[in-house]
Amino acid sequence: MKIISLDTVCLSRMHEPERQWITASYRTVKADCAIVRIQTDEGLVGIGEASAYGVPPRIAEWVDWLAPTLIGKDATDKATPPHPNGKDRAHDAAVAGIDCALWDLRGKAAGKRVSELLSDSPASSVPMYASSGCRYDWRDRPAQLIEEALGYVEQGFPVMKFRIGTQWEWDGVTVDRFLGLVRELHQAVAGRMNLALDGNCRLTLEEALPIAKELDRLEFAWLEEPIPWSDIDGYAALAAAVDMPVTGGESFTTLEQFRPYIEKRAYDIVQPDAGVCGLTELVRIAELAAYHGLKLYPHSWHNGLMAMAHAHAVAALPNLEILEVCQIQGPLQWDIAVEPPAMNSGHLHLPDSPGLGIELAEGVAERYPYIEGHYALTVER
């Protein structure tokens, strides 16, 4: 089955003003999506989502650049996908989209779900966690975080992951004030939903240590990227100081970037994203993590096709347990699909269809044409 063409479908949707979200010092004004589409000489079409943080038009340029090296090759040959280089995010996102589209094609050609290509006995559904808690403003109603969390309890999510809110310097937020809100949140959901915190690499080690200890006492599910990612010794110190898992690695695109963090036990759980590293590399990272006794919780932001790539990996691989699903992407997230997968009681059910299990909806490019410009504006206060 030979590849005859590749293209990239770039999509956007402006958020309504009330759905814009602000965290750190940026306000997110639109949702973006980049889907790589591969046509074959047998009429089968594979699709794979690339992380829109690679910037859709730049991803499209890289796909066009890579296309001549792929056209004419066998889509089912495992040697066909290009490799991420760990240097250029747009390049690696393009590679990732191509890689996921080739997995979709391999499944379709074999009449199997991608999870069945990865395992002899994959699960048919996977637990998912609500990824959000990005919208609370320390100046205006930080309690919004608790209201939002109670909504996820109602929907049956086993875990919610939240962030640390708007820029702390703007409003004199301290570790103590932050932990006060964390304790209120914990009390509001205790016994009904677990919690995880993503520091988005924004804390210092001095701030992160007392926070990690308190979250450990509150039995948080994990603490993600509390400090700058480059501080590998700081991560190792944090991971050694608490029983709760310390996690990270969402921006790494190659096994070699993960290797020192895995070998130094800087992370207890690694979080590669198939939208920037590809499913092939994610499987290799999962194998190295498993060899060192570590779990892998995929980083999965953006839209539904990426969630599906990760869902198949979670269903199939032994050291993957839970799927991240972004709760604030808006209608674009699942409108890309003819039929989204069933999701209820905190679980995503893998569709019966072969490949990744969803098809691109008719007319999606006309309904959600790509809107030029960055997805977020920097806010000054």
The torsion region of residue 165 among left (phi > 0), alpha (psi -120 to 50) and beta comes to left
Residue closer to Mg ion, measured from CB, 103 or 222: 222
- Dig out the tokens for 333 from the structure: 């997230």
Residue closer to Mg ion, measured from CB, 116 or 224: 224
| Interface mask toward Mg ion for 25-64; x: CB under 5 A | ----------------------------------------
Stretch that binds Mg ion, among 7-15, 38-46, 185-193, 220-228 (CB under 5 A): 220-228
Are the beta carbons of 283 and 261 closer than 8 angstroms? no
Least distance between Mg ion and beta carbon 220 (Å): 14
Kindly report the number of other CB atoms within 10 A of residue 68's CB atom: 9
Residue closer to Mg ion, measured from CB, 157 or 368: 157
- The sheet that has 3-14: what strands, in order across it? 3-14, 30-40, 45-50
198 lies in the site for Mg ion, by CB under 5 A:
yes
Closest CA to 276 of 106, 90, 8: 90
| Interface mask toward Mg ion for 230-269; x: CB under 5 A | --------------------x-------------------
The residues, ordered by sequence, that sit 6+ positions from 137 with a Cβ below 8 Å of its Cβ are 22, 144, 165, 166
Residue closer to Mg ion, measured from CB, 23 or 125: 23
Residue closer to Mg ion, measured from CB, 38 or 197: 197
99 lies in the site for Mg ion, by CB under 5 A:
no
Least distance between Mg ion and beta carbon 80 (Å): 31
92 lies in the site for Mg ion, by CB under 5 A:
no
How far apart CA 127 and CA 133 sit, in angstroms, is: 19
Task: For residue 33, give the H/E element and its range.
Answer: strand 30-40
Environment class of residue 106 by beta-carbon count within 10 Å: exposed (0-12), middle (13-18) or buried (19+)? buried
324 lies in the site for Mg ion, by CB under 5 A:
no
Residue closer to Mg ion, measured from CB, 224 or 268: 224
How far apart CA 156 and CA 144 sit, in angstroms, is: 19
Positions that interact with Mg ion (CB under 5 A): 198, 224, 250
